[in-house]
Amino acid sequence: MTTQPVAHASGTFTLGGELPITRLGFGTMRLTGKGVWGPPDDHDEAVRVLRHAVELGIDFFDTANSYGPYVAEELIREALHPYRDGIVIATKAGLLRTGEDQWTPLGFPAYLRQEVEMSLRRLGTDRIDLFQLHRIDPKFPADDQIGELAALQREGKIRYIGLSEITVEQLAAAQKVAPIASVQNRYNMAERKAESLLEACEEQDIAFIPWAPLGSGPLVAANGPLHRIAEEHHVKPSQLAVAWLLKRSPVVVPIPGTSRVAHLDENVSAAEVTLSDDEFEALQNVEG
């Protein structure tokens, strides 16, 4: 008797209206070195994490050329290529890396095109499922940045276009240039500044990919405000935070990441946590 992979309990979302993905995905930023710079401390464990994620039913992997830089994309190829049917890889460009924890927006259209081409090579594919503009660079017209991605989409090098760290107004403006399949903003139980953007995504069936889904600091700490509620469910506060996101909206696609297999098992098991409406509302009012 076989058991269904744990991640499948999170349900599915249809990206771009035609590509189904398991809602609980995996973010690869933590697979790199300190400050998201350089290779991981344990290369073999990073490879094991990616392969185990697939075993657990994860089929949506979120990465970026800036993670390392280039390290996370290279690890994905090493661990998962040739990609089995149903594996969906999202990557990004639009941030220049010059050192640990240093991120500089760069949206020059020719640079974006170059990075799409390089990501295709690193990932070992002829089309990127979802390519996201990491930031809209104020130094260049937004229409030119999104327009370059639309051109690459017409050339068949990008299947869907996504945007990161935007406003509702920027989403509406971008949609005049190209269809937008996803939005990725910082959002978690304690940080909900993107609430209006999430609502816009709900209305239009656009994937909302919250980065930093577990939050940080006191909210998910062992002695934080979620501790008692988590104990009642026999889970950790971080797992409760993922369960809350999954219940928040059917368009939410959380991507908790880790560099350790044991922690991956813990994160993915959050898909099996069922919150009642009353519990969800109580958590909605928890302050970080």
User: Which residues have a catalytic role annotated?
Assistant: 67
C-alpha Rg value of the chain to the nearest Å: 18
Contact 251, 202 (CB under 8 A): yes
Q: What are the φ/ψ torsions at residue 210 (nearest 5 degrees)? A: -75, 125
Distance separating alpha carbons of residues 97 and 68, to the nearest angstrom = 8
3-state secondary structure 206-249: CEECCECCCCCHHHHCCCCCCHHHHHHHCCCHHHHHHHHHHHHC
Distance separating alpha carbons of residues 255 and 141, to the nearest angstrom = 30
Distance separating alpha carbons of residues 81 and 184, to the nearest angstrom = 25
Q: What is the DSSP letter of 99?
A: S
Closest Cα partner for 148 from 183, 111, 97? Answer: 111
Contact 228, 270 (CB under 8 A): no
Grouping H, G, I as helix, E, B as strand and the rest as coil, residue 126 is coil
Q: Which position has the token pair 């949609």?
A: 175
Contact 137, 165 (CB under 8 A): no
